[in-house]
Chains A and B, each alone.
Chain A
Amino acid sequence: MKTLLVIMAVVIAGAAHADGIELKDPKGDDKGPGTYIYPTDTAYSRGAFDLTKASLTDKGDSVEVKISVASRIKDPWRSKTWGGNGFSVQMFFIFIDTDRKAGSGHKAGLPGLNVKFAEGSRWEKALIISPQGTKRLTSEINAKAKKWKKDIVVPTSVSVRGKSVVARFPKSQIGSLSKAWGYQVLVQSNEGYPDKTDLLTRRVNEFNGQHRFGGGNDYNCDPHVLDMLAGQAKGAAGEATGQFTQLKTYKCDDDNPEGGSHATIKMVYPGG
């Protein structure tokens, strides 16, 4: 009975805080800088990394983030059996610029994404939605992203609803949502056996393979991002071009596999 009362209290509390941010992205732009193609394994189904919508909603003590893609979210690797969250191949990073001050916040993206943020839209908070459970995720953050740890927020719960993944984050670690903030959602793929420096991210190579995206570069310089927000995040077709343009701004060093410079991307500011 007590449990039911707790549940009812949570439901009522959630209904009282419905304000939020809604961001859209055009379909068919899950190609990174315009050239990326999926791995050949059947786990990577058509549209699986094609971001269509992202919403952040105040739920009282929590912020609920709902990310939608173009096809049903599947769990071909049975994530629940390895402590996961009910899906297998996707991974989402939500970066937030809470102060909109040039030079304030973190410029570099998280390890494995191979992107950096423009001076005017550095990030203060990064929310991660991964198929991996909290234990593995926090362990990886400690190992590979320790210097950003205090600004990385991991969810308290993650669930799958059709074409969407819904995650709840402690509001105490994010703050009250604002349309004046900048937001960026990067779509990646969960890699259970990542490179030593990659935060559970899957790499993009020049040619695709069974579990490798293709259309990029074998050196570690190209952005490992399949889809992202661009423009005003209204879902307009032209936003795909904006995404391609931003993600093409990387340079590789033919003499150094780890050299070159990463692509520079911008936040989306719903408040204009």
Chain B
Amino acid sequence: MSTAKARAILVGILVSATLLPTLAVADLINFNLAGQIYTKWLYRNNDNQGVLSYGNPFWPDNMAGDNGVSSEFQLLVEGRVGDYVQAGVRIKSRFGALWQDWWENGDIKYDQVENTSGESLGMNRAQYMKLRGYWIRAQLPIPWMDALLIGSSDLGMFNPWTIGKIRFIDRDNGKGIFVQGRVHDQYLRYHAAVIALPKLWVGPGWSTGVGDPLLRIPFYSNDWAYGLKLESDPLDGWSMTLVGTVTLDSEIDMTDPDAAGSLYPTCQDELGNPVPDCAKNGAVDTLHRYSNVVATFENQIDVWDGGSFNILAGFSHSFINERLANNGVRDNAGVFPLVYDTVNGSFVRVRAEFFDVADGLNFKFEYFNIDEHFMTIFGARREADVLWTDGFMEGGQLPTLNLANEFVDFDEDWYESIVGWHGATAILSFVGDVEFNLEGTFITYNTNAQNRDTDNVYPDFLHTDGYTDIDIYDYANVFDRGRDLRSVYRQFQDRMSIIARFDGVWHTGKLNGLDLGWKFKYIYDSDNREDGRDDDDYLGHIMMGRIWLTIPPADGLAITLGGQVDYWIEDNRRGSREQGYSDDTTFKVRPYVDISYAYQGLALRYRLEYIYKDAQRERDVDRTFHVIRSKATAEVSW
């Protein structure tokens, strides 16, 4: 080897040695990995096995149940393709396998009652890794465009009234093309989206065709939603937002001779006569099975330090093609997420807030009026709240019949439909070492009507009466849990409600941060039901009291001890027009303990509660419940 050649090799090695760490660093900088392990324990004093309190009510699965422990893992991979182009994926294991399911792999060996193979429960217990989301995001050098997103999105750019943010567990299931940008930073910003409709839930019968008995070949691959949001700040402190969305479910026109399975492939009817205007042209026509147009216009005014004002109004148009969408109101016992008719609806919500009306004292007022025909099929189904009132349930109020109160555990929020609500809420709040809210809400109902057609047009969700017990809930209502939270239409209704709430917390400053909390709530709920009858009038007095205390024995650790007492007096709670109604009372006691601990990246939580429920029922056997249940979670992220 010549000296020059040896020198060249040496220089090469040195250069490589110098560059390699830099390249490795660059790779690390441009490639982000994030992992998460989540484990959940459920316990209840019953014989129900599984790890989800409330699973799929329509297609019962074998992962839901009250006793079990299960874990999941997810991996988030993000990378930078170029300076202005990023990509990412989320890979997550299927949740549902119990720790006892040692060998389950999705390969069901044989479908028999006695199965000792260890491979008997299918894919819900297989813990397989699934591609849950994928996205490419680019800030392209195109005028007026800030970013382009192709792939998964939680659809959080619109609002709960139009296209709602997807619930957290489904946050990457929505796919589409999303563009955002600005013509002028202050005066005109926009979001535009084309979104693939989920073949389930965004349509009549919770479907865009699959399973509809009127369809021979469900055609869901061309079902899309379109959304446009325009934002402007015309003045400092005044912002306007206009959102328009269109949801379109299309199906094949089976009279088109070009369609596979066409009714008239030769353009002749059953008798051999030519079908008028029928001719093959190499293209297949489609028809709308369902369409929904929703638009909202919002003004947010914050020009004054002493207050804030918001006006939100909207409009909806809901079209159902009766040839292509089966009538679930008629054929599915009134369980259907839409009015089975072509209807237009509107709403308005006005908010005013006044800050520091006295030292630490704030006041806010909200007026709301949602038309009985306001329909939003793609609006938020849960994990949003469009009204300030605590409502009948604590969780949230949403303007759709398409709520999702399933795939949840017993400690999660519940959501109720506000279609038809007309009323106002006033809340007085104090913030200081003592915090409190004093709420008064009055509601009448645009859905009040006599002899409404709940057999063919208006879904009543089968269970229309009685205050809903979300503590001991069951979808089939065998526990007499009361009204379905989606049930806003009743054949005969003349309803009015008043909600009063006083809740708060006292930060005592003792014992390293002892807090004392309380909540008292009273609901007056009356429904005169059928005009001319006095013996069917519903009157509910719902009373709830809760007190709790939280102590933080150590940094990151919080222990809460609490108790709740409910007493409901309901005249004519349940029954029928023909058989009459019964006067029922319900008494519930629920002591509980909640422990949470956060240490570095580890988050632990444990909740244990006991529920005693005594339902005194005039026309049925009284019922007593003694329920002990708990939920624990452990989560690490890195």
Contact = CB atoms under 8 A, between A and B. Distances in A.
Interface in B429-479: 429-436
Contacts of A255: 22
A3 B520 CA distance: 13
A10 B34 contact: no
Contacts, number: 135
A7 B436 contact: yes
Interface stretch (A90-98, A118-126, A153-161): A153-161
A106 to B, nearest CB: 20
Contacts of A156: 433, 507, 509, 513
A193 B362 CA distance: 33
Contacts of B434: 3, 6-7, 10
A147 interface: no
A143 interface: yes
A41 B245 CA distance: 20
Contact of A168 (B236, B307, B432, B599): B432
Identify the interface centre among A143, A157, A170: most chain B CB within 10 Å of its CB. Answer: A157
Interface string B546-585: 0000001001111000000000000000000000000000
B600 A157 contact: no
A71 B231 CA distance: 13
Interface in A159-186: 159, 161-164, 166, 168, 170
B557 A135 contact: yes
Contacts of A76: 156
Given A170-B509, A218-B29, A40 B433 contact: no
Nearest to A27: B236
User: Interface extent on B, as a size class?
Assistant: 35 or more
B513 A134 contact: yes
B103 to A, nearest CB: 34
Interface string A7-37: 1001100110000000000010000000000
Interface in B471-513: 504, 506-507, 509, 513
B83 A206 contact: yes
A42 B139 contact: no
Contact of B233 (A46, A59, A134): A46
Contact of A142 (B157, B300, B302, B556): B556
Among A3, A14, A72, A162, residue most surrounded by chain B Cβ atoms (within 10 Å) = A162
B633 interface: no
A11 B358 contact: yes
A6 to B, nearest CB: 6
B433 A157 contact: yes
A159 B435 contact: yes
A101 B432 CA distance: 33
Contacts of A11: 358-361, 430, 432
A170 to B, nearest CB: 7
Given A40-B147, A59-B432, A14 B360 contact: yes
A207 B600 contact: no
Given A7-B436, A61-B509, A135-B558, A71 B137 contact: no
Nearest to B502: A3
Contacts of A193: 34, 637
A163 B156 CA distance: 21
A71 B302 CA distance: 8
A252 interface: no
B507 A135 contact: no
Contacts of B137: 40, 209-210
B13 interface: no
B422 interface: no
Interface in B1-46: 22, 25, 28-29, 34
Interface string B523-566: 00000000000000000000000000000100111100000000
Contacts of A40: 137, 139, 146-147, 180
Interface in A122-158: 134-136, 138-143, 156-157
Given A11-B359, A134-B552, A139-B555, A62 B156 contact: no
Interface string B200-241: 000000000000000000000000000000000100100100
Contact of A78 (B361, B383, B637): B383
B302 A72 contact: yes
A54 B429 CA distance: 22
A255 B26 CA distance: 10
A163 B302 contact: yes
A195 B75 CA distance: 16
A241 B435 CA distance: 40
Interface in A63-119: 68, 70-72, 76, 78, 81, 83
Given A11-B358, A46-B185, A161-B355, A62 B29 contact: no
B289 interface: no
Interface residues of A, number: 53
Contact of B189 (A46, A68, A138, A164): A46
B84 A257 contact: no
Contacts of A68: 305
A149 B293 CA distance: 54
A218 B137 CA distance: 18
A43 B191 CA distance: 13
A208 B180 CA distance: 14
Given A15-B359, A156-B513, A207 B83 contact: yes
Contacts of A61: 433, 509
A162 B302 contact: yes
A62 B383 CA distance: 34
Contacts of A170: 509
A140 B555 CA distance: 9
Determine which residue in B358, B433, B513 has the highest number of CB atoms from chain A within 10 A of its CB, and name it: B433
B84 A162 contact: no
B462 to A, nearest CB: 30
B262 interface: no
A208 B123 CA distance: 39
A19 to B, nearest CB: 13
A128 B202 CA distance: 43
Given A161-B355, A162-B355, A139 B556 contact: yes
A42 B29 contact: no
Contact of B139 (A15, A141, A142, A208): A208
Nearest to B360: A14
Given A7-B430, A193-B34, A143 B359 contact: no
B108 interface: no
A68 B191 CA distance: 27
Nearest to B29: A218
Nearest to A162: B308
B286 interface: no
A55 to B, nearest CB: 11
B404 interface: no
19 contacts: A3-B506, A6-B506, A14-B360, A42-B157, A62-B432, A72-B239, A78-B383, A134-B552, A139-B555, A143-B599, A157-B435, A157-B507, A161-B355, A163-B305, A168-B433, A170-B509, A207-B84, A218-B29, A219-B29
Given A40-B147, A135-B597, A166-B431, 11 more contacts: A7-B430, A14-B360, A62-B432, A71-B239, A72-B239, A136-B598, A139-B556, A139-B598, A161-B356, A162-B308, A210-B137
Please list the 4 inter-chain residue pairs (A to B) with the smallest Cβ-Cβ separation, ordered nearest first: A139-B556, A139-B598, A162-B308, A138-B555
